Chains A and B, each alone.
Chain A
Amino acid sequence: MTAIDEATAVRVPGEVSLRHRMSDLFLQIGLLPILLAAMVVFFAVRETSFFSGPNVSNVGRQAVYLLLVTLGQMIVLLCAQLDLSVGATIALTSVVTASTMSNADQPTAGTIMAGMAAGLCVGLVVGLVNGIVVAFLRVPSFIVTMGSASIATGIALIMSHGAPVTGVPSEFTSMFGTGQWFGVPVPLFIGAGAIVVMYVVLSWTTFGRNIYAIGGNEVAALLAGVRVKLQLVGAFVICSLLSSLAGVLLTARVASGEATIGGSFVLLSVAAAVLGGTSLFGGEGRLAFVVLGVIFLGVLSNGMNLLLISSYVQQLVLGAVLIGAVAIDRIKPRIG
């Protein structure tokens, strides 16, 4: 112990010890890529079909829904807020989208567009309500979004009478649900587009800068002349819109409007964002790592499915991963 300590205390210009370089590297990239790689190797060894083409594209498609929601959740977390209404937004979007489309006698491209637009309007409204109440009335986002989640779920159940809304045009499902371009599922293109847009927003716009600053120190942002309230509303609207987009795609995937579809997304989106190093206290979080966090959860659940692990056990594992991710986030600064 002391031998190592004494050795490292000697300052040699231009030469950093391997141990320090390793710990610097570890602090830079964190545990996630290592865990992800280990997990991929584990599943590939245990189950040969893991790397098969259909399975890989399946993992990708499944991950897109979570990706969209997580990108939204990330923006909200960056402001040191939390959105617990993402799941309910997905559910209400699904019901509204399906209802709008199934009302038409003769489905056309216009019907499909109208249904999708109606679905996205759900996100817009939920986001505006969340954002305005949080920013202007200063109610904690935890409470506001929990309440709005209940409201949205209630509306979805009332509209659907608790049953799946059928009659979704097959063109819609074959395009956005099962469709492929160049052999790649369509949702993957949408997911990739969302990543690009989010990258631009976070790194190249003043809005992105302001979001990070608000999470870092809201008072400082205010005193620097940032319109804090507007940016907060913007963050919640983006989060809900992305959730709605996921809801529209999921509706296409399951070919019906479901009021019970979004339940697990709250926990999963927070878990993925935090796994990717997003701080629950705001101001910290990098897009690439959040995407890795989503892939991590996607691979984990796919691998567990392949190994025929029951959904009950999976539930347990996911909870443990969330707690573990936050715990690691808390102890990380002490390493080195």
Chain B
Amino acid sequence: MTASGIVDAVPAEEPGGDSADREVVLGLESVSKRFPGVLALDDVSLDLRAGEVHVLLGENGAGKSTLIKVVAGVYRHTSGRVFISGREVRHNSPREARSAGVSTVFQELSLVPTLTVEENLFLGRIPAHAGLVSRRAMRRRAGEALRRIGVTLPLKARVGSLPRSAQQLVEIAKALIDDARILIFDEPTASLGDRESDRLLDVIRTLAGSGIGIIYITHRMREVRDLSDRVTVLRDGRLVATLTAAEADEERLVQMMTGRQVDALYPGIPPEPGPVRLAMSNVSGPGLHDVSIEARAGEIVGLAGLLGSGKSTVGRACFGLSAVSAGTITVDGKVLRSPSPVRSLRHGVVYYPPDRRGEGLALCRSMLENLTLGSLRKAGAQRGGFIRRRYERDLTRKSVSRLDIRPGHPGRLMQFFSGGNQQKVLLARGLIREAAVHIFDEPTVGIDVGAKADVYQVLQQLCESGRAVVVISSDLPEVLGLCHRVYVMHEGRIAGELTGDAVTESNVLARFFGPPADPAAAPDTLQERS
């Protein structure tokens, strides 16, 4: 299928060889993409070489997604030219792009959860002889694909029963079965923990080593450092620069992405702990064992831990989304009985879910409607069930300027906002409620540096105005940079509590796998041995 002349031209394996000599598998020449009223991509030219990991970096709305969708055949470019292996292409569908050797692992996986791994791998391309499914050929090719990425997966297991990280591997194996020469990853690690991320990055390196060209979108600087051969920064649909990995230091990249200097990402908030506003004492339930935490006024409390450590469950329990079988939750001294979103909000707890598209926003409705949803009464924007629309509009305008939501057009549908601005709308809704306790689950996941700084500023304001802020986060630098006090969780229990200067990377990491051995006892045992 693949043009044999091209394969001959590429040195089969050249580990450590200068990638600049390698064949260009994908070329974009002055590509633009216009949507009604928006120029999403503006005259972008870049190339991707065989065996290269090319990172695309940019704030939300910079045009990264549009670019890869053009390459993947989801959109057609309005002008410019796209070359694959030297031949100009103009794909009309993802299917056409796939047969040209372009495969994409999108954020939303394209797997059927109720089918098995094997069935998913061959979905729409079952090898058959005379109309009969060739199970043997399926087994063999699936095995080959998985060997290439160096993993084993249960072929008979239902995809829905696998963890997200394994599902991604299935997605990658699927691409390999298509003989992909260009693989596109759109934030593949966004929903993975550290260990799973590392494993995935290894797989991606292996793939690049075998001569596949890889486009990789991420917001994580660590991945840029560890993975990339070259980095292209996009801003407002234009290409800012393409740098080699050596030229790409973090500060420079951030500056290119945002077009401004981000001096200090984390605001230094002096801790001024006041009275306890949220207290959980001995709370147990599914995934929680005897958890006691408290958050004081004017304090940012962090919850850290691995995926599945129960840190998210704590937030959900406070909001009635996860059952509480024992223990009490108290807000400002009042016991919160059988929590539910309505009751928790009334007691003064706001919970910000990590999955803003799935759980936070109605994407097909306007920004204004999303911003005031459920908060109209609290904000005094309704009387007897009737909305005071002018009041509501003023309220929205205030929120837009306070949080710098862009574009600040209240009638614009939520789905057309970037991730960072969607998150700001979610924040704005919570702020309207003027609650005592704000619980954020992954407040900055998948949003760009500029929006991150804005979110942190909001947390700072909340903190300074005497609210208790709880931040549940898998982003360790965020926990370290932001929180005054950190609870580390492990298997549904509090594995440790760290305050002030004790909030260090090594201290937090040490508790990821359970509480440390009794620190007082440890030296003693050593002495005894010596």
Over the window 41-60 of chain B, the binary record of Cβ atoms lying under 8 Å from chain A Cβ atoms (1 yes, 0 no) is 01000000000000000000
- A216 near B364 (CB under 8 angstroms)? yes
Residue of chain A at shortest CB distance from B345: A225
Given A216-B364, A224-B429, also A206-B34 (CB < 8 A): no
Judged by a CB distance under 8 angstroms, whether B389 is at the interface is yes
| Docked CA distance A204–B382 (Å) | 9
Contact of A217 among B34, B37, B363 (CB under 8 A): B363
- B362 near A9: Cβ-Cβ < 8 Å: no
User: Is the Cβ of A223 less than 8 Å from the Cβ of B362?
Assistant: no
Which of B36, B376, B377, B385 contacts A20 (CB under 8 A)? B36
> Which residue of B is nearest A216, CB measured?
B362
Known contacts A9-B34, A9-B79, A16-B37; is-contact A205 B387 (Cβ 8 Å)? yes
Q: A209 near B387 (CB under 8 angstroms)?
A: yes
- Which residues, 1 to 35 on A, are CB-close (under 8 Å) to B? 5-6, 8-9, 11, 16, 20, 23-24, 27
Interface locus among B289-297, B351-359, B498-506? B351-359
A108 to B358, CA, bound (A): 57
Number of A-B contacts (CB under 8 A): 100
Count of chain A residues with a beta carbon within 8 Å of a chain B beta carbon: 34
Q: Does A138 contact B (CB under 8 A)?
A: no
Q: Is A317 on the interface with B (CB-CB < 8 A)? A: no
A222 to B342, CA, bound (A): 8
Inter-chain CA distance A216–B413, complex, in Å, is: 11
Residues of A contacting B281 with CB < 8 Å? none
The reply to whether A204 and B39 contact each other, CB–CB distance below 8 Å, is no
Whether B360 contacts A212 by the Cβ 8 Å rule is no
CB of A283 within 8 A of CB of B365, answer yes
Q: Is B457 an interface residue (CB 8 A)?
A: no
Partner among A5, A209, A227, A279 whose Cβ is within 8 Å of the Cβ of B79:
A5
What's the Cα separation between A222 and B353 when bound, in Å? 12
A225 touches B36 (CB 8 A): no
- DSSP class of A's interface residues: helix, strand, loop or mixed? helix
Contacts of A196 in B (CB 8 A): none
A210: which B residues are within 8 A, CB to CB? 373-374
Who on chain A is nearest to B343 by CB?
Answer: A225
The CA of A6 and the CA of B360, in the complex, are separated in Å by: 40
Of residues 284 through 320 on chain A, the ones whose CB sits less than 8 Å from some CB of chain B are 284
With A23-B36, A205-B387, A209-B369 as given contacts, are A226 and B374 in contact (CB-CB < 8 Å)?
Answer: yes
Query: What is the size, in residues, of chain B's interface with A at 8 Å between Cβ atoms?
Result: 39
Residues of chain B within 8 A of A24, CB atoms compared: 36-37
Contacting residues, chain A, for B374 (C-beta < 8 A):
210, 213, 221, 224-226
Which residues of B70-120 have CB atoms within 8 Å of chain A's CB atoms?
Answer: 78-80
Q: A204 with B386: in contact, given A9-B34, A212-B365, A227-B342 (CB under 8 Å)?
A: yes
Indicate if the CB atoms of A219 and B36 lie closer than 8 Å: no
B512 interfacial by beta-carbon distance below 8 Å: no
Q: How far apart are A214's CB and chain B's nearest CB, in angstroms?
A: 8
Q: Is the CB of B342 within 8 A of A283?
A: no
CB proximity of B36 to chain A, nearest CB, Å:
5
Q: Which residue of A lies closest to B33 (CB)?
A: A9
Q: Which residues of chain B are near A176, meaning CB under 8 Å?
A: none
Expressed in whole angstroms, the Cα–Cα distance for A16 and B36 within the complex equals: 9
Contacts of A217 in B (CB 8 A): 358-363
Chain A: which residue is nearest B378 at the CB level? Answer: A225
The answer to whether A225 and B341 have CB atoms under 8 Å apart is yes
Write the nearest CB–CB distance from B360 to chain A, whole angstroms: 5
- Which residue of chain A lies nearest to B90 when distances are taken between CB atoms in the complex? A2
Smallest Cβ-Cβ distance to A6: which chain B residue: B79
Q: Which 7 A-B pairs have the closest CB atoms?
A: A216-B362, A224-B374, A9-B79, A225-B374, A217-B362, A225-B345, A224-B373
Q: What residues make up the interface of A, taking CB atoms closer than 8 Å to B? A: 5-6, 8-9, 11, 16, 20, 23-24, 27, 204-207, 209-210, 212-213, 215-217, 219-227, 279, 283-284, 336
Q: 17 interchain pairs (CB within 8 A)?
A: A6-B79, A8-B34, A9-B32, A9-B78, A209-B373, A209-B376, A209-B387, A210-B374, A216-B364, A217-B363, A219-B358, A220-B359, A220-B370, A222-B341, A225-B342, A279-B364, A336-B36
